[in-house]
Amino acid sequence: MFEPLYTPQEAQDRRAFLALLWAASQPGCWQSLPSTAPSFIALGQALLDLETSFYAADEALARQLARTGARALPPERADYLFFPVLRDEHLEALSQAQRGTLLYPDSAATIFIGLSDPHDEGVELRLTLQGPGVNGLLQIALRGIPFGLWTLRAQARYPLGWDIYFVEPERGQVLGLPRSTQVRLSEAHSQEE
């Protein structure tokens, strides 16, 4: 069987895109990103082009993503939103992201959120996931996410809403949380307790 020959950049983009596909089809399961580029850069290079738009809360990341040829737009008009770190002050921008319409649910934004180092002190949220791609119930824990994200996410009912990807840059991994996934916050605690 003939296999196409990829340039190193094409191979990296392909690996990042496949990681996103697997993350979306298996919500709550970590997928590995290519190690040849920082996680957010690899994701941007795999998704962005002249016909797409993005918003990045971090100026240095925005400059890197602009090299793809994609347009930098305000959060309410961007196709992809990148938050290397999501803090309470970013929730206003996130709340403006497109959630789609009943006629065009696919016009919703896709959100990328960086997680804090798993060894950091702070609040860890325990989530119970259910829905397409989840075998029964799946429990996961995420650290470094403001509680307000879950309030914003709950404001839209499927098929509206965002597809969210959580990124662990230190480990080079991504976890998908499609808008079709039901989320229940089951516990929150601090490592200091």
For residue range 2-24, what is the model confidence (pLDDT) as tens digits? 777 889 999 999 999 999 999 99
Residue 116: pLDDT above 90?
Answer: no
Show me where the domains of the chain are located: 8-115+155-176
Provide the pLDDT confidence category of residue 117 given band limits of 50, 70 and 90. low
Residue 153 per-residue DSSP state: H
| Domain 8-115+155-176 CATH assignment equals 3.40.630.30 | no
Tens digit of each residue's pLDDT (9 = 90 or more) over 134-171: 999 999 999 889 999 999 999 999 999 999 999 999 99
Packing angle, helices 59-66 and 39-47, rounded to 10: 40
Residue 95: pLDDT above 80?
Answer: yes
Taking residues 81-88, what's their average pLDDT? 96
Taking residues 33-43, what's their average pLDDT? 93
Q: In whole angstroms, how far apart are CA 74 and each of 7, 146, 185?
A: 33, 21, 30
Provide the pLDDT confidence category of residue 189 given band limits of 50, 70 and 90. low
Under 8 Å between Cβ of 109 and 79: yes
Provide the pLDDT confidence category of residue 37 given band limits of 50, 70 and 90. confident
